[in-house]
Amino acid sequence: MAAVGTQHLTGHDAVAARYRNVDPVYFETRDLRLTGFVLFLLSDCILFSSFIFAYVYLRNSAPAWPPFLNGTQLPWFDTSFAAVNSVVLFGSGVTMHFALENWKHLHRQKFFYWLIATIVLGLGFLGGQAHEWSGVFATVLTWSNSTMGASFFVLTGLHGLHVFIGTVFLTVLGIQAKNNVYTGSKYLGLTAGTLYWHFVDVIWVALFYLFYLL
């Protein structure tokens, strides 16, 4: 008897057909591991929130913002450049979304194209941040001479570290995908990588607003 295509199945039968060849241990623990990863991201949110609330408190406590240093008010950050760099990072969130969707639909070649684009854009954002840091360091703003400098370099530096870790994470996922670690129904690692990258995007929305728009 010819095998029935999964497209003609519904409900429990469709689920069973989709995961028929999946490791049962993976299938049973997938949701638990995904929940654990989401909890990890929530703990990271708490870390960023602590620094953000400290920055907001220091800013609201200052008599003027930007604060004065040796009688001279510190300059505002370059909003135009940061906006362009933000577009680069947000664009990488879009490419990562398409990468995962192509994997789900078994378009392996397109998946790798979108994944590589995500990594390149992530590195481009880090390059832009390094350029901005060198420009800020060239002025009067440093790590230790003001609360503005300390807040800026700590928060953007912590975020930049997450972006760097994310590019390494995505690179490892790409190597694993190339080595057939994932299949069309077994791709928890790729889902986790996508969630992590979107988390990095969301954190940058808050930082961009705090430092460049507020």
In a domain, 181, yes or no: yes
- Kindly state whether residue 2 falls inside one of the protein's structural domains: no
Does 153 fall in a domain?
yes
Tell me which residue range forms the domain holding 206.
22-213
- Count how many domains the chain has: 1
Confidence of residue 12 (pLDDT cuts 50, 70, 90): very low
Q: Is 63 within the bounds of a domain?
A: yes
Helix (H) or strand (E) holding 73: strand 72-73
Q: Which of 77-91, 110-124, 141-155, 156-170 has the lowest mean pLDDT?
A: 141-155
Residue 200 domain-assigned (yes or no): yes
pLDDT exceeds cutoff 50 at 31: yes
Handedness of CA 86, 187, 168, 44 (dihedral sign): positive
Per-residue pLDDT, 11: 46
> How much is the pTM?
0.84
Residue 144 belongs to a domain: yes
Within-domain flag for 10? no
Asked if residue 48 belongs to a domain, the reply is yes
What secondary structure letter does DSSP report for 10? -
Using alpha carbons, list the distances in angstroms from residue 48 to 82, 142, 158. Answer: 19, 21, 8
Domain of 94, CATH number, reads: 1.20.120.80
Read off the pLDDT of each residue in 57-85 and give the average, rounded to a whole number: 84
